[in-house]
Structure formats: C-alpha cells, structure tokens
Structure 1
C-alpha cells in the first residue's frame, strides 16, 4: 500500500481554522523579525502581516523600525525573516513618531506570498467568506449492517459539508464550526467573515501540483459566485502531503464582496447545489462554452448587485442573454445560421433562447407597473418588454423615453427583475439544474 492510500482521506488534513468572533476582524498571518530591502540598503525591524477586508480583501503589512534611516518607496522588498520569505511590496504610508525615534511603514505585497513548494500535494485547503451556512451533509452511506453512517472530512468537526465531484477530483465544502453567531451578525450588519472551509483532492489521492488545481479552483469560484450572487474566491490556501503535513501556503488578495442578504437559487437545506455542479463543469470544460460561462456569470453577478444602477444592470442582462442565444442556437444546436440570427430583432433572439430552454415567456402578473406599460405598448411577452426598455436606455430618443430611460423607477426595477430571472433560469437550464 503506498503512502497516498495509507490513511483514510476523511482524517486528512487537520488545517488551521480561522474562526472570528465578529465580522471584519483582520487575520494575523505573520508577526516577527523582518527586513525592508532597497538595492544595497537594508532596514531591520518588526513586521506584522495580516489578511484584511477593506477596502477589499487583501494582504497588508506594517513594518516598525527604530532608526532614523529612510527608504525610497519604489522597488522595495519585504523579507519575513523568521519564515525566509521575500516579496516585492508597495509602500502606501509612513508614520514617524517624534520623540520615540520610531517609524511605521505600511503597504501591500505586489504579488502572492508563497511558503513551501506547490507540487507533490495530496490535498489543498482554503477558506471562503460570506457563503450561506448549512448543517446538512451529502456524505451519508450504508454500512454492512444496513445502517446509515456519515462519512466525510473530519465529520466530527464541521457543522455540515457538501462533497462535489468532477472528473477525478473531489471538493468538500464545509461550514466552519461554532460560527453561527457570526452568520447572524453578517445578516444584520453586513461586512466580511470567513464562513466555510474547503478541501480539494484527487479521488485516488495521487499527488498533484498547485498548477494542476488552478483551473478547478477558478471554476469552483465562478460556480459558487453564481450560486451566491456575489463574488467569492479561495483565501488562505494551504497544501498538504500524503501524511497530512502542511507543506505549502499562499496568501494573496482576491475578489470577494461584502455580505448581502440576496436571494439564492439554491437552498442550504437541500443538495441541489451539489447536483448542479456536474452540469456546470460540463459547460466549463467545453472550449466553446468556457469563456461565455465566465462572462455570463460575471454579467449575472454584476446585474444582481445592480452595478451601474438599474439601467446598467438591464444592459448587462441583455448582453448576456444575446450572447447565450448566439452560442446555443448558432454554434451549439446549429438551428440558425449566423446570417439568419443576425437578422432577427433582439427580442426574437432572446425569445428563441428562452423557448429552446423551456422557459415561460409570459410577464409575471405581480409586476403591475411593467405589465401595465406592456399592455399600453402592445408588447406580447417578457422578452419584448425587457428588450424595448433596454433599447430605450442604450439608444435614447424622445419617442422611446417613456419605454426605458425615462420610465418610472418602478418599471425599470421590475424589468430588471424579469431580466435577472431569465438569465438565471437560462444558466440553470444550461447547467442541468434538476428542479426547473
């Protein structure tokens, strides 16, 4: 039996759990002796390196020294002496304390801080912020006595965990323990906090490199961002060998949004998030779909956050729907020629996309303001309504102002909600979501 299979994977690894009592607490990564280096000039002192949340999630440092020496701000290297790591940094501020002969230099690394070697790894562990908590698992199995038994990764530690599989990889998403008060604070106050921890490994637990895992980490980030409706990304990545010893660590800035109490298409009390992942990965791994999946999720998340206001969100939705229509109808199904598609009005392009996916075209009757305007303008369905309003926003003229750009806020908000629902449903259909 080789080393990779000598220990059950559910017992490996046992990583550091970053558990904060309150949102927005910075996470200390290093505190100790350090040097700032500029060419031949070396300044000795103490450094504290943290993972902070504002203005966006990133690594920061403070370097304290007790000399009168000064250093130029350009092309500076920070050496964390006690762990032997050097990294290029950008200095943002220097504070001098008169009478104490002390200066504090603050700044940011220009690149990821990496400890160890990112190869011959058996598992990667990383944290996630601001994901909804859940306390169920999809790792129940039947034992020899015919009884259900929970098998997972450190199942006695985590409150709940979902296991995702794709190809020869497995990803565990687990709710951090003793963290439910943090969840309530996030819901009431917003901000940031680490809420989940993940483990990535091969099904046969054979070694891999960090480069091997990068694409899957990126895919999983996009998938969870689509599920959450906010940007999420792996943080504080750690790599482990077959014995469960940490041999690699990476600290870097990442794209993640502050908590928002937004609607999500999945329920934390069910496994539909797990069941939809294979369909997502099927599209992600198709070279004809990869770029479009990324762009569509980008437009979906930014639209859901109303980036650029309601008008900007409506434009993003329409761009996503028209691109999806082109790829599905022209390139994938080949049900329309390029010339035939381009001759169609935008409303017909969206209408054909939704119809081919089995999505209802009727305007929801509870959208009173949009429905009233649609009746006045003789718009036949939802695709025409959102397209006419988008056209009026992008191509404003006095005849169209009442349709979009000059329409009431209530009408535009309702049009935004319809477009967002169409885009969400289209993506879920393409990812083989089983419950629509």
Structure 2
C-alpha cells in the first residue's frame, strides 16, 4: 500500500446537521405543521427517502372528509429557522408526494463555511484519525481526509461504521449518508453561495468519475461568520447504490492517490474554459460504466472521443477543420493520434480481449483504435441486416472494456493526474493492485 505523505493526527469528528441514517432509512428534514396543502394546517413530514432510491418526499395527515387533492403541483408552507417558507411540490396522491428542489435563505449570502452530507461514498482512507466516545468506550478510525486545494480548505469525515456498511452493501441496494464535509476558504475569507454550488458540482462529477458510479453531495448548509444559517438546499439526488467493489479506477485506500486526484481535479476545473468540457467528458465516462446495455456504453464513449479529438486536434491547432473532416483523418486515425500523444498504448496485445482480437484479425485491423472504431461503425451502420458483428461472441463486451480504458486514461491525462490507478481491464487484478499512469512510467 502507498505510504501516506502525512502522519495521522487524532481529531474529533465533525457533527453532521442531520444524523447518519441506517441503510435505506429516511433522513428526517421537517416534522410539524404543513400549511396550504389543505384548508387548515396539518401535521406533516418532509424527508429524504432512501428507498427504493433517494428522493425528497412529503406526507401529511388526512381526514375522511377531505376533498381529494388532484395530482400535480402544490404549494407547501413550513417554518424553517424561524422563518415561513413556501415550497413548490408535486402531489402524487392525496396527502403525499415529492419535492424536486428547494432552497432556503439568501442565495446572495456570503458564507463563512459550508457543511454538506455525502451519500454512498466508499470508505476512503483519511490522513487523520477520528476519535469519539460511545458507550463508555473510545472508538478510533482513519476516517478524515483534509486538504487545502485551489483556495479551499476541505475536511471530509466518514461515519464510524462505514467499513461494515460497505462490507454488507452487496446484500441489497443501499442508500445511506456516509460522510460529512466542511468547506472553508483557505485564507479565511467569505465566499458566495454560487461558488459553493460550483465546488459541490465539481466534486459530485469528479468523485463519480473516479468511482465509476454516481455519488452525491446532499443537504448542504451555509453558515455566516456569526454561525447563523444563511442558506440551505434540499434536492432529490442522483445516486447509485453503495458498493463494496465496483468500477472505481481510483484506489481510494491510498491516501496519496486520493490526495493527488483531488488536487488534479479541482485544479483542472479552475482553469478557464475547462468547466463545461471536463464536466461533459466525466459525465459520459460515468455513463459508460452503468447505463443500459453494453452497446449503449460503447456509443457513449465515442461521444467523448469525438469531443477530445476535436479539442486536441482542431482547437489545439494541429489539424485544420477541413483536414479533420477529410478522409485523411478517419475515426481510427484521430483516436490513435490522441492516444499516442497521451502515451497511451494502442496495442491490443496489452490486454486479454480475445473476442475483439479475433474480430480485428478477421477484419485485418492493426490495433485497438482500428478495432474499436470498426466495431462501433458496424453497430451503427451494419453492412447488412444480418451483419456478422454478433457472431464474435463477447466482442461488444471487449470493446466496452477497451473504450472505457481509453476514455479514463484520456481524461486523467487531460487533468494532469500524477498518481496511480486500479486497472479496469482484463486480466483483472485485485482492487488495490495499482499501476502508474503511462505518461509517468520510466521508458
């Protein structure tokens, strides 16, 4: 295992605003009067439901004599932090429904710190040890990661029982609050709600890309320098079930690698013009892991390949737009060139992809980009209604492995990640068997 750069101190964990829930247990956000949904104020509940998937739900008491509420948009009123608040909600059936998103407080407020909960992050090895006393005993766990990155001071604390939750995650689809994060400016200055939201979106997309599944920041709360809550946001979050294993390329039990990735990620997002492009690439990379059928994942990868090829070759001034669109630069040549420039091997023999190798041999194709592009083109534009692609059993799966690998490597090269990665290609090793990035290898 990689040695940590920082000796672990023993510290007290952050206190979450909302207590860590048990697996699939709802997180209670409001319990009390719920107005405007009925002629009189009713007792109601708003919660972040975690079953069957995360969603903001509301319910209220009903009476037999009530006139049924028709499905559709309704207004709800609650009291929050001593202030009356109006929420736009959806009524599904009489007395219950859901809420997509709502914010409280001043969106123009200047914040001193942000507290946010995270759903379904794994047990990331921290660079500090947390300690708390429970049932008369002292409990310690390496659950705090701390970093000062790109002007932000970030603390990420795991819940004390997370390792057990991860071990048991294969039993059912688990949705649970796993971490609490505190964010401040490194120089102690105040920051805007907009900058906090931008940071959370960068972390949401970046950590999901690293883990190969959607994880989510949830229920952020912004505090002013007086300690008063100035802003709060509730949303139905996009999140995949907690996994003990999965498609993570980042070995998050290496503190060094996690630290390197966080620095590369936020540094890349801070560069002018990168935010939209990098987000597009990472979102589609997550889709290549867990959306639809294998063929859909391969096609999703090609959307990013074309994006990267256009940026590197045309916007980078290496090829004119006319040349790019000419026969001189077919799809396989463009992909081969961006891989070569990133020191990423194009040799099919580097991996165990027997079905794709057989397809390449039959088609007289020389390397991975040629095989991958040809198979993709045959899927979309077959030579006949009974094209022969599917007679190579497993070729689509092999193409998915290769496309995912190329895509991950190209994005990591783009953000300048210097650490190691856990290979997601056959022959598979155990999670934690990491390799250096190809552009860092001694040749």
CA, structure 1 residues 198+157, in 2 after alignment: closer, same or farther (shift >3 Å)?
farther
Alignment-derived partner of residue 89 in structure 1? 89
CA, structure 1 residues 170+187, in 2 after alignment: closer, same or farther (shift >3 Å)?
farther
Deviation at 1:341, TM superposition (A): 1.9
Q: Is the 8 A contact 1:392 1:400 kept in 2?
A: no
Q: Tell whether 2:326 aligns with 1:347.
A: no
Q: Tell whether 2:367 aligns with 1:377.
A: no
TM-score (normalised: structure 2): 0.82
Alignment-derived partner of residue 303 in structure 2? 319
Structure 1: distance between partners of 2:357 and 2:295: 18
Q: 2:144 aligns with which of 134, 146, 161?
A: 161
Q: Tell whether 2:381 aligns with 1:395.
A: yes
Find the residue that maps to 1:78 and give its secondary structure: strand
Structure 1: which 5+ residue stretches go unaligned? 1-9, 95-104, 140-149
Structure 2: distance between partners of 1:242 and 1:158: 31
Q: 2:314 aligns with which of 326, 330, 350?
A: 330
Q: Tell whether 2:40 aligns with 1:43.
A: yes
Alignment-derived partner of residue 281 in structure 1? 266
Deviations 1:231-271 (A, max 9, x none): 22210111223354544432211221223431312112212
Which piece of structure 1 moves more, 120-129 or 352-361?
Answer: 120-129
Q: Tell whether 2:11 aligns with 1:26.
A: no
Q: Tell whether 2:105 aligns with 1:121.
A: no
Q: Matches of residues 282-297 of structure 1 in structure 2 within 5 Å?
A: 282-297=267-282
Q: Is the 8 A contact 1:159 1:177 kept in 2?
A: no
Structure 1: distance between partners of 2:278 and 2:386: 32
Q: Is the 8 A contact 2:314 2:320 kept in 1?
A: yes
Find the residue that maps to 2:370 and give its secondary structure: helix
Q: 1:201 aligns with which of 169, 184, 190?
A: 184
Q: Tell whether 2:217 aligns with 1:217.
A: no
Q: Is the 8 A contact 2:299 2:376 kept in 1?
A: yes
Alignment-derived partner of residue 77 in structure 1? 75
Structure 2: distance between partners of 1:161 and 1:340: 51
Structure 2: distance between partners of 1:381 and 1:75: 55
Structure 2: distance between partners of 1:337 and 1:115: 50
Structure 2: which 5+ residue stretches go unaligned? 1-10, 132-138, 420-436, 438-443
Alignment-derived partner of residue 192 in structure 1? 175
Deviation at 1:11, TM superposition (A): 7.9
Q: How many residues align?
A: 397
CA, structure 1 residues 161+284, in 2 after alignment: closer, same or farther (shift >3 Å)?
same
Alignment-derived partner of residue 402 in structure 2? 418
Alignment-derived partner of residue 131 in structure 1? 121
Find the residue that maps to 2:111 and give its secondary structure: coil
Q: Tell whether 2:51 aligns with 1:65.
A: no
Find the residue that maps to 1:43 and give its secondary structure: coil
Q: Is the 8 A contact 2:103 2:231 kept in 1?
A: no
Find the residue that maps to 1:296 and give its secondary structure: helix
Alignment-derived partner of residue 302 in structure 1? 287
Which piece of structure 1 moves more, 106-115 or 367-376?
Answer: 106-115
Deviation at 1:67, TM superposition (A): 6.2
Find the residue that maps to 2:268 and give its secondary structure: helix
CA, structure 1 residues 115+174, in 2 after alignment: closer, same or farther (shift >3 Å)?
same
Q: Is the 8 A contact 2:104 2:233 kept in 1?
A: yes
CA, structure 1 residues 308+408, in 2 after alignment: closer, same or farther (shift >3 Å)?
farther
Structure 1: distance between partners of 2:47 and 2:339: 47
Deviations 1:343-389 (A, max 9, x none): 21100110001000000011134212221221222211100111000
CA, structure 1 residues 299+347, in 2 after alignment: closer, same or farther (shift >3 Å)?
same
Structure 2: distance between partners of 1:55 and 1:315: 29
RMSD over aligned CA atoms reads: 2.8
Q: Matches of residues 232-311 of structure 1 in structure 2 within 5 Å?
A: 232-242=215-225, 244-260=227-243, 261-270=245-254, 271-305=256-290, 307-311=291-295
Alignment-derived partner of residue 4 in structure 1? none
CA, structure 1 residues 299+212, in 2 after alignment: closer, same or farther (shift >3 Å)?
closer
